[in-house]
């Protein structure tokens, strides 16, 4: 089967998004709860890293589970807060409300971006005449 045929199959894309989302979630949990010396850094300001990580996480989960976008967004917002609280258990880490706020904002923005993308695609497909 040609690659273009695979990319046109929503179930294939959904499965890819789901796998990516769960792998990214595991990486974020590890990065958030591991000792500070093991935390990966991109070179961007930490608040941008926090926002971006949860934006991409939420976007991939929302694309992978399109019928559960609201639950995905709420669960990831709750997870962001819980991960910040859990950092208090590590002597080298510190969870702060401002850090949680950037993560919550990223999670909400990612879910909204997935919704906006699907709305755009639906509008585009209605406007494009089929041959």
Tens-digit pLDDT profile for residues 21-69: 999 999 999 999 988 878 888 889 999 999 999 999 999 999 999 889 9
Q: Residue with structure tokens 């000792």? A: 35
* Helix residue spans in 38-131 (DSSP H): 46-64, 69-86, 97-127
Q: Tens of pLDDT along 74-128?
A: 999 999 999 999 998 888 888 899 999 999 999 999 999 999 988 888 888 777 6
pTM summary value:
0.85
């Amino acid at each position: 089967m040609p690659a273009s045929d695979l990319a046109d199959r929503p179930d294939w894309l959904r499965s890819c998004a789901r796998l990516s989302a769960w792998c990214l979630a595991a990486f974020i949990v590890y990065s958030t709860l591991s000792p500070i010396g093991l935390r990966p850094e991109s070179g961007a300001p930490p608040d941008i890293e926090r926002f971006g990580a949860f934006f991409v996480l939420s976007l991939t989960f929302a694309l992978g589970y399109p019928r559960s976008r609201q639950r995905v967004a709420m669960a990831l917002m709750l997870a962001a807060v819980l991960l910040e609280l859990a950092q208090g258990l590590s002597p080298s880490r510190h969870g702060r409300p401002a850090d949680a706020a950037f993560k919550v904002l990223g999670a909400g923005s990612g879910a909204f971006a997935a919704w906006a993308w699907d709305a755009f695609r639906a509008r585009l497909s209605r406007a494009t005449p089929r041959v």
